[in-house]
Structure 1
Amino acid sequence: MKLRLTLMLLLMGGYSAHLSAQNNYAWKTATGGGYTYKYVTGDPTHSRFYTLKNGLTVILSPTDKQPRIQAYIAVKAGSKTDPADHTGLAHYLEHMMFKGTDKFGTLNWAKEKPLLDKIDELYEQYNSTKDEGKRKEIYKDIDKTSGEAAKFAIANEYDKMMSAMGGQNSNAFTSFEQTVYTEDIPSSAVDKFLTMQAERFRKPVLRIFHTELEAVYEEKNRGLDSDPSKVWEALFEGLFPNNNYGKQTTIGTIEHLKNPSLKAIRKYYYDYYVPNNMGIILSGDFNPDVMIKKIAQHFNSMTRKPVPPYKITPEAPITTPVIKEVYGPNPENLTIAYRFPGASTRDARLLSLMGSLLTNGKAGLFDLDLTKKQKLLSASASANTLKDYSVLILRGTPVKGQSLDDVKTLMLAEIDKLRKGQFSDDLIQSIVNNYKRSKIEQDESYTQRASNLMDDFTSGVDWRTDVAAINELSKVTKAQIVAFANQYLKDNNYVAVYKRQGADKNVVKVEKPAITPVEVNAGEQSPYVKMINTMPANAVQPVWLDFGKDIQRSKSGPVDVLSVQNKDNSIFRLYYRFDMGSWNNKLLPVAAQYLQFLGTDKQSSEDISKAFYKLASTFSVNASTETSMVTISGLQENFGPSVSLFENLLANCKADEQALAGLKARLKKSRENLKLNKAALLQGLVNYAQYGADNPFNYTLSDEDIDNLKAQQLVDILHSLVNYKHTILYYGPQNAAQVGTSLATLHKTPATFTAYPAKKVFTRTQVNGNKVLFANYDMVQAEIQWVRNESMYNPASNPVINAFNNYFGGGMNSIVFQQIRESKALAYSTYAYYSQSAKKDDNDIFVGYVGTQADKMNEAIKSMNDLINNMPQSEKGLIAAKDNIRKSIETERVTQDGIIFSYLAAQRKGLDYDERKNTFNEVNKLTLTDLANFNKKELQNKPFIYCIVASDKRVTDDDMKKYGELIKPDMKQIFGY
């Protein structure tokens, strides 16, 4: 599920050349290719808005940056329009829209249909029957009939088709008022794509339903294990007692999940999946005059129908704070929310501006008063704009020793400052300047363009208001914002959700039904898909990087400069890259974090943050395990001031004992919180599996080390940073020579660099026998990862590894997904991949994953092991995998600073060429025998380390010992403290 979380103003506006007057932004009408469309004057995305005769909205935003197209097919319907007695229905339907029609997804429709009709009727009986004994008998019949029907079904044929045409990120999401189907396709595959989509939405068949329903059960259980999801539901329940935003959840209730109705799902489809309630949004490399003809040709057969209206019952004003509590294993935090008018209103746009006044990453009230001063571990404010209402959401996490009431007091004090106008007079203009920069960056991305247009379509926002928004907001005064804050932010009109740490006694998991694995017919193909695959596609030639030509080189003093010129706009990104990290010095990441709280003799830390924000610039210093990076970015016109500001801070920052005390407390609390994070636990176990007890994950400071930190010690590290050898990377309007000249005076370096501190060396373990690493965590599900250190990195293996991953476990069309989720309904999420090392002279690694209910753990492990040891072979599956790899590489364009980072990644592997070229040239030669031999050499019947995070109340030691020697590292062994 994806919820529409938008700082709307980040998606709005045009460039400064268009900001002279509001009337520059107006809807106009034009004709092209025989079709009339609307457009907004001054729109830098040049988006066109069409309405076909049947009411279908088509939005086209052409850009030729890459030979690909981001496509959204959006329906203005979601959980808000679910029937009250069938919540979760829109989300069910989203899943089923991948199952095919009477033309694809089936081997024999005539034989399959009677069985599907019988399943329909059985579910109606199941739905209306209350007697549990009778329900079990009906379910047995459902399971049996589903198995018979599945013999004629081709699971994931849609995904295989999209993969074969070079599609990427094939997916969908359901939210309150939108269900959206998303594809990223090669521009050469447009005809195949449109043919496929027109058929897909013509008359979907709800096949392989009961195993997909179990996948939805798994998704529900994952939500029950997610504290943020529970907070979200409680928050909206408090805000919207009358609207379905609060009365219904997107995934539905357990009761409704247990009692589905295929007839109700089908009715929902016919009610809402009609052209006048849908939009096709495309952004990418195409001619819009040609594209609109193609879309009309494929979708004109859809018939307009009245759409059932959603009747809004206005919410009564909140006059007393609504307080809710949520319990779970994650760290404590507090969320506060205020209600505002809906997305299409001017108030919603002012709300987004107000959110940025509170949090913008640099100079907002929360940023300066709560985060910079370390009064809270984290604090943020954001606007969530929905069609009927919008919400201002405040989130705060306490430092050690604070109560959640303390957090509330601190956050509400900042709201009071906002109401009183106690913020910098020029902050609004600084926000507008940063919006302009963000808009330039977003318009570079064809995927972001499509996302922005799609969001506005589904929420009913006029695109013109987006295009004109920066101009509009630049005229907003401080007095107007203060009046707006006083109108909506009262002392008593909010909802507060206290997320407390502890057992959730209200969790009732969705019980596992008895499911007989169904056929997936992985190697089969319908005649319709064969027809699509033989459709012609325009040839696209791959473009390889030539590191000698694509990267400009120069010097800035003794420092090498690697540069790629930005010829499109005024954005620059500057990096100082060091080949040292925490393995060289454990204190380096701490010093990097300390810098954000420091000032100089002439400027406080707050002054520096405000100065960067005024320049619409950002900086960061990050230290990973083996490398560190300084990043400065912004507008080229402010390049000199931005770099000077950072260089002055780095060279002249002074020790601040109060800031260090706050940082120590922050570090300790963050480390405590990390132990309450199931993803961190699993990461720790995986590192333990790869390296043993002494591993990169637990190579960290002890509590005593943190207590003994000295402010001057950290400042000395920062002052000396540029004394170590580093490389300058630049993407921006200047060429390499100009950058070198500019930085010669801005970036001072010594004549001779200091040698790097000695680096800690970690040795990967050899897996000589099966082992199980277990960590206890209070949750419904079990998270399982298979880990095995493999052969040393070998670039010649790239083609077979890419093919193996695509074929075996890398997506919804892979064997792992088809068998574990589609056939056996054992997981919502599952994958497996063989990962090549990021550097030469290091091991590759295999990782498999299943997230499943704890009572399915044994079945899930057995299923993955069976696939690893007896890899199914499908010639058509391999062809689809190879096609996807070649077509993806053909249309991939490495651009901007990505060119430099590709070069550095190649260097780490000992390569001086674009490694994609070898994969592209060799992958078509691969056979199933090659994949089988690779699997046999690296995986088949080999020992593995199983990393399991689960509740010890739901899984037993005896079960885990079946798979190998059971080891239960304690928290200190996992985390190092």
Structure 2
Amino acid sequence: MKKHFYTLLILCLSISAIPLHAQQVPVVETNLSNGMRVLMLPRKDEPMISGGWVAHVGSANERPGITGIAHLFEHMMFKGTPTIGTTDYERDLKIIAEQERVRELMRDEEKEMRAMYRRGEIDDVQKPENFTPRYRELEKQFAELIKEQREVLVKNEFDKIYTANGGSGMNAFTSSDMTAYFITVPANKLELWMWMEAERLLRPVFREFYAERDVVFEERRMRTESTPLGKFAESFESIFWESHPYQWPVIGWPSDIPAITKAQADEFYATFYAPQNITLILVGDFDPQQAIQYAEAYFGRIPRGKKDAPDVVTLEVKQIAEKRMYAEAEANPQVDIMWHTVPFGHKDSYTLRVLAQILSTRTGRLYKGLVLGPQIATSTWSHPDHRKWAGLFNIGGEAKESFTPQEVEEAIYEEMEKLKSEEVPPEELQKVKNNFAASEYRKLSSNMSILMQLVFYDGLGNWREINEAGAKIQAVTAADVKRVAKEYFTKENRAVAVYTRKKGASEKEPAPTKTSETTSN
């Protein structure tokens, strides 16, 4: 019996040492006549199709004065078309034109209020009590126009049409590098999906363009201003990035959101929502040949943009000294550290993903070294963030009662020094690689899961990573891990945020959203 046990043990160890590679995803790639890329993956598992498209534009493509415009478009793309979202399109257009006229007059008053702010006559241009009399009058006129427009609006008609036809999970997101829209529909509704999505690209109507700012501000309030660390995290990010557009939040600066004009929006849309800047993605039960015919018939109608979207040309300057931020917050004491690393697709990004996995999860070094061992932290986290144009690596931990964030910080550095001075043991490295391989396999379990991977990879610049990243991760060596630890995790390359409890704050504040369970992507 013991002999059989050891035979089985040796067999298991041998299997675990074999590099695991996820199966290849047979994506079909083609281009429409107007330059729009199409990615297709037929799967006959169920009679459903997950469809989406990604516009290669995010907050990094903005500039000061119009920050938040990419995210605003995520909202506007659900407002409909000449035939969806209204009961009277002609009246709708007249109201929109009148809204723009009044808004132009309001912008003149906003300019005057900014001048008053610079002279010290008012303390905040967004406080209602500081509005000029003329602005208040125009605001009432605009409110009446909004009320009039709502008489002809059909709210959420886009979603209602999809839901009535068996669609589910309609959603969208905006990041620093991309904006994506997606839904799952029955296989026999593919043509409906093609028409709906093509229509909102070909003939969008930006209803409630100005009124939607209130929705965006509420989103900002909930996600940033009303959370214990939201505003601090936003400030920390702007400190971390010196020259790169990543320094402003995806949702935009509060003063920019209401200042964006319809003319600026039209220019932004023409540049970044042109077909040659969009990738159409289908995963599910469909015939590729028929899908291409539909795509050309509907999406092919959209004229190619007059000019290609420009690259982000401002690179992050090399950091020359450590940056530190100290803040009192209504949260548990903790430390958050970020290092500058590399963008998506860089040869070192795969090693950094492996390094993050070595540190994170309940079996990782940070949890063992800070939570289980000396018990100075209640939670830890570690993850890389390889964006399209630049990257960072984030490590942090929440201090246990009677310990300080500074002690947690020093313990983190001790763990990093071990990675710099000693190679990771083969069995530890192989375990991490096996976890990556298993995770890749699990991500192929559903149409939507595969779709989101293709959206993510294509949005960052190379959809083929869905097939190529696995092998690159399996090729990472212990020497690679040691090398990147020494190269990127230096004092002068990092920014540190130290959070202490605000005086008078409750001892039972909710923990941060990051936990020791966080794994690398």
Aligned partner of 1:214 in structure 2 is 214
Aligned partner of 2:44 in structure 1 is 64
Give me the whole-angstrom Cα distance separating, in 1, the residues matched to 2:57 and 2:318: 27
Q: How does 1:656-675 map to 2 (within 5 A)?
A: 675=508
Contact kept in structure 2, 1:119 and 1:145, CA below 8 Å: yes
Q: Aligned letter for 1:501?
A: R
Q: Aligned letter for 2:108?
A: S
Contact kept in structure 1, 2:321 and 2:493, CA below 8 Å: yes
CA displacement at 1:678 relative to structure 2: 10
Partner SS state of residue 300, structure 1: helix
Does 2:194 align with 1:194? yes
Aligned partner of 1:406 in structure 2 is 407
Q: Could you tell me the TM-score, scaled by structure 2's length?
A: 0.85
Partner SS state of residue 384, structure 1: strand
Aligned partner of 1:277 in structure 2 is 277
Give me the whole-angstrom Cα distance separating, in 2, the residues matched to 1:401 and 1:503: 16
CA displacement at 1:385 relative to structure 2: 1.3
Partner SS state of residue 426, structure 2: coil
CA displacement at 1:422 relative to structure 2: 5.5
Does 2:30 align with 1:50? yes
Aligned partner of 1:235 in structure 2 is 236
Contact kept in structure 2, 1:365 and 1:423, CA below 8 Å: no
Give me the whole-angstrom Cα distance separating, in 2, the residues matched to 1:434 and 1:415: 21
CA displacement at 1:446 relative to structure 2: 1.6
Describe the shift of the 1:493–1:202 C-alpha distance in structure 2 as closer, same or farther (beyond 3 A).
Answer: same
Aligned partner of 2:315 in structure 1 is 314
Aligned partner of 1:84 in structure 2 is 64
Contact kept in structure 1, 2:423 and 2:479, CA below 8 Å: no
Give me the whole-angstrom Cα distance separating, in 1, the residues matched to 2:346 and 2:403: 38
Q: Aligned letter for 2:365?
A: L
Describe the shift of the 1:311–1:196 C-alpha distance in structure 2 as closer, same or farther (beyond 3 A).
Answer: closer
Aligned partner of 2:106 in structure 1 is 126
Q: Could you tell me the TM-score, scaled by structure 1's length?
A: 0.46
Aligned partner of 1:290 in structure 2 is 290
CA displacement at 1:210 relative to structure 2: 4.1
Partner SS state of residue 495, structure 1: strand
Aligned partner of 1:266 in structure 2 is 266
- Range with greater deviation from structure 2 (254-263 or 86-95): 254-263
Contact kept in structure 2, 1:123 and 1:262, CA below 8 Å: no
Give me the whole-angstrom Cα distance separating, in 1, the residues matched to 2:105 and 2:339: 44
CA displacement at 1:467 relative to structure 2: 1.7
Aligned partner of 2:122 in structure 1 is none
CA displacement at 1:341 relative to structure 2: 1.6
Partner SS state of residue 412, structure 1: helix
| Higher radius of gyration, 1 or 2 | 1
Partner SS state of residue 491, structure 2: coil
Contact kept in structure 1, 2:71 and 2:250, CA below 8 Å: yes
CA RMSD of aligned residues (A): 2.4
Contact kept in structure 2, 1:338 and 1:391, CA below 8 Å: yes
Describe the shift of the 1:43–1:125 C-alpha distance in structure 2 as closer, same or farther (beyond 3 A).
Answer: farther
Q: Aligned letter for 2:195?
A: T
Q: Aligned letter for 1:297?
A: A
CA displacement at 1:17 relative to structure 2: 9.8
Does 2:317 align with 1:337? no
What is the total number of aligned residue pairs between the two structures?
A: 472
Aligned partner of 1:426 in structure 2 is 427
Q: Aligned letter for 1:677?
A: P
Partner SS state of residue 245, structure 1: helix
Higher relative contact order at CA 8 Å, sep ≥6: structure 1 or structure 2?
2
Describe the shift of the 1:94–1:17 C-alpha distance in structure 2 as closer, same or farther (beyond 3 A).
Answer: same
Give me the whole-angstrom Cα distance separating, in 2, the residues matched to 1:473 and 1:251: 33
Contact kept in structure 2, 1:127 and 1:261, CA below 8 Å: no
Does 2:77 align with 1:97? yes
Partner SS state of residue 392, structure 2: strand
Partner SS state of residue 348, structure 2: helix
CA displacement at 1:307 relative to structure 2: 2.8
CA displacement at 1:360 relative to structure 2: 4.0
Does 2:485 align with 1:447? no
Contact kept in structure 2, 1:92 and 1:265, CA below 8 Å: no
Aligned partner of 1:382 in structure 2 is 383
Partner SS state of residue 341, structure 1: coil
Deviations 1:88-126 (A, max 9, x none): 111112111111112221111112211111111222222
Partner SS state of residue 382, structure 1: strand
Q: Percent identity?
A: 22
Give me the whole-angstrom Cα distance separating, in 1, the residues matched to 2:65 and 2:365: 44
Does 2:473 align with 1:468? no
Contact kept in structure 2, 1:90 and 1:265, CA below 8 Å: no
CA displacement at 1:488 relative to structure 2: 1.1
Contact kept in structure 2, 1:146 and 1:210, CA below 8 Å: no
Q: How does 1:843-854 map to 2 (within 5 A)?
A: none
Q: How does 1:731-770 map to 2 (within 5 A)?
A: none
CA displacement at 1:468 relative to structure 2: 3.0
Partner SS state of residue 468, structure 1: helix
CA displacement at 1:400 relative to structure 2: 0.5
Partner SS state of residue 443, structure 1: coil
Q: How does 1:574-653 map to 2 (within 5 A)?
A: none
Give me the whole-angstrom Cα distance separating, in 2, the residues matched to 1:260 and 1:426: 55
CA displacement at 1:503 relative to structure 2: 7.7
Contact kept in structure 1, 2:67 and 2:251, CA below 8 Å: yes
Partner SS state of residue 310, structure 2: coil
Does 2:180 align with 1:177? no
Contact kept in structure 2, 1:234 and 1:497, CA below 8 Å: no
Describe the shift of the 1:45–1:127 C-alpha distance in structure 2 as closer, same or farther (beyond 3 A).
Answer: same
Give me the whole-angstrom Cα distance separating, in 2, the residues matched to 1:53 and 1:308: 18
CA displacement at 1:329 relative to structure 2: 2.0
Partner SS state of residue 266, structure 2: helix
Deviations 1:158-213 (A, max 9, x none): 11111111222212111111111121222222111111111111121121334422
Q: How does 1:520-531 map to 2 (within 5 A)?
A: none
CA displacement at 1:476 relative to structure 2: 2.5
Deviations 1:860-902 (A, max 9, x none): xxxxxxxxxxxxxxxxxxxxxxxxxxxxxxxxxxxxxxxxxxx
Give me the whole-angstrom Cα distance separating, in 1, the residues matched to 2:479 and 2:423: 11
Note the residue ranges of structure 1 that are not aligned, 5 or more in a row. 1-15, 20-41, 505-671, 681-977
CA displacement at 1:236 relative to structure 2: 2.2
Describe the shift of the 1:167–1:231 C-alpha distance in structure 2 as closer, same or farther (beyond 3 A).
Answer: farther
Q: Aligned letter for 2:400?
A: V
Give me the whole-angstrom Cα distance separating, in 1, the residues matched to 2:328 and 2:173: 27
Does 2:225 align with 1:203? no
CA displacement at 1:231 relative to structure 2: 4.1
CA displacement at 1:228 relative to structure 2: 4.1
Describe the shift of the 1:384–1:454 C-alpha distance in structure 2 as closer, same or farther (beyond 3 A).
Answer: same
Which aligned segments of 4 or more residues in structure 1 are displaced greater than 6 angstroms? none
Aligned partner of 1:677 in structure 2 is 510
Give me the whole-angstrom Cα distance separating, in 1, the residues matched to 2:191 and 2:335: 50
Give me the whole-angstrom Cα distance separating, in 1, the residues matched to 2:422 and 2:428: 11
Aligned partner of 1:372 in structure 2 is 372
CA displacement at 1:240 relative to structure 2: 1.3
Does 2:95 align with 1:115? yes
Describe the shift of the 1:444–1:225 C-alpha distance in structure 2 as closer, same or farther (beyond 3 A).
Answer: same
Q: Aligned letter for 2:509?
A: L
Contact kept in structure 1, 2:63 and 2:245, CA below 8 Å: no
Q: How does 1:504-523 map to 2 (within 5 A)?
A: none
Give me the whole-angstrom Cα distance separating, in 1, the residues matched to 2:309 and 2:195: 29
Give me the whole-angstrom Cα distance separating, in 2, the residues matched to 1:226 and 1:389: 27
